[in-house]
């Protein structure tokens, strides 16, 4: 298994960040196998979705509707609504796996690999990329 860790700056606002290019660069010379993308944080997730046509903003809007940033959460340190960030990985899991064929991600035409982060208290994330050769 080959491993690479990305360091990603997410900033101080809810974010969907496209990691597809970084993932594609990692697997480019590795042949056939499986890419596993994992974010080792309790308040972030990995999603495969279309970006740039509004779907990333729609995802954030849906998460804001489902998980409002208010004081309803029992987990209450950090900014108001921080507890929602700890619930989000149950909806957007902290991992995704993508087949790799001849060094290319086997994604659909409009699919992208994205980091989803609602935790405005933590501006930097690590994302682990693992390639298992097939």
Whether domain 2-133 has CATH 3.40.50.300: no
φ, ψ at 20 (rounded to 5°): -60, -45
User: For residue 75, what pLDDT is reported?
Assistant: 80
Would residue 111 be called left, alpha or beta, if left means φ above 0 and alpha means ψ between -120 and 50 degrees?
beta
Looking at the chain, the whole-number percentage of residues with pLDDT higher than 70 is: 100
Q: Give the DSSP H or E segment for 56.
A: helix 55-66
CA–CA distance, 15 with 116 (Å, rounded to integer) = 6
Q: Is the pTM of this model over 0.75?
A: yes
What are the tens digits of pLDDT across the range 39-80? Answer: 999 999 999 999 988 999 999 999 999 999 888 888 878 787
Q: How many CB atoms lie within 10 A of CB 7?
A: 8
């Amino acid at each position: 298994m080959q491993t690479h860790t990305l360091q990603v700056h997410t900033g101080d606002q809810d974010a969907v960040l496209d990691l597809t290019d970084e993932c594609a660069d990692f697997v480019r010379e590795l042949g056939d196998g499986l890419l596993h993308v994992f974010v080792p944080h309790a308040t972030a997730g990995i999603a495969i979705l279309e970006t740039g046509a509004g779907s990333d903003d729609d995802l954030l809007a849906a998460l804001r509707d489902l998980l409002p940033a208010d004081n309803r959460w029992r987990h209450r340190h950090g900014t108001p609504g921080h507890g929602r960030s700890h619930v989000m990985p149950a909806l957007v899991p902290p991992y995704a796996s993508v087949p790799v064929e001849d060094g290319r991600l086997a994604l659909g035409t409009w699919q992208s690999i994205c980091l989803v982060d609602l935790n405005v208290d933590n501006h930097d994330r690590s994302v682990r990329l693992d390639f298992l050769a097939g």
